[in-house]
């Protein structure tokens, strides 16, 4: 299975933009959902493999259906796509000032690499906590 990094971005519109950049190509698309974006990207990859990449040894015997995506988001896009996650809660978990975190989310400031790692760790920590939740009936 071949893995590619897909970057997803969203602004205030109703569409999600996605792109993949490799040494061979840059593919961009938009869709209403993340699933639409991945479907479109697979179609674009299939088109590349069939046409321009037909003689490219790197893509020989690769099928678009065999590709999986590693997904990357910028902070603004992530919080738009996952609006149920509270910015302040992630700021607290990441030990980042809440007003500074809001500046990152709004795109007014750019987080340093160290801060991005702390924010990502906070997301993972929250995810681990959620995975361990058990609910009971009344």
Q: Looking at the structure, do residues 65 and 127 belong to the same domain, yes or no?
A: no
76-91 pLDDT, tens per residue?
Answer: 888 888 889 999 999 9
The CATH number of whichever domain residue 69 belongs to comes to: 3.30.160.620
Residues 79 and 63 in one domain: no
How many domains are contained in the chain?
Answer: 2
Residue-number span of the structural domain to which 118 is assigned: 75-131
In a domain, 137, yes or no: no
Report yes or no on 116 lying in a domain.
Answer: yes
Which SS3 state, helix, strand or coil, does residue 16 take?
A: strand
Mark whether 48 and 87 lie in a shared domain. Answer: no
Distance CA 112, CA 27 (A): 27
User: 24-37: per-residue pLDDT in tens?
Assistant: 899 999 999 999 99
Helix or strand holding residue 67 (H, E) = strand 67-73
Q: Indicate if 67 and 80 belong to the same structural domain.
A: no
Of 10 and 127, more confident: 127
Give yes or no: residues 56 and 112 share one domain. no
């Amino acid at each position: 299975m071949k893995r590619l990094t897909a970057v997803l971005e969203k602004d205030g519109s109703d569409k999600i933009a996605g792109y993949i950049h490799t040494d061979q190509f840059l593919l961009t698309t938009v869709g209403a959902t993340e699933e639409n974006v991945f479907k479109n990207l697979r179609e674009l990859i299939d088109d590349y493999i069939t046409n321009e990449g037909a003689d490219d040894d790197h893509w020989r015997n690769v099928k678009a259906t065999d590709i999986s995506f590693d997904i990357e988001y910028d902070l603004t896009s992530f919080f738009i796509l996952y609006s149920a996650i509270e910015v302040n809660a992630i700021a607290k978990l990441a030990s980042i000032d809440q007003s500074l975190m809001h500046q990152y989310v709004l795109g007014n400031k750019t987080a340093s690499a160290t801060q991005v790692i702390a924010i990502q760790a906070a997301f993972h920590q929250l995810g681990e906590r959620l995975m361990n939740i058990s609910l009971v009936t009344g």
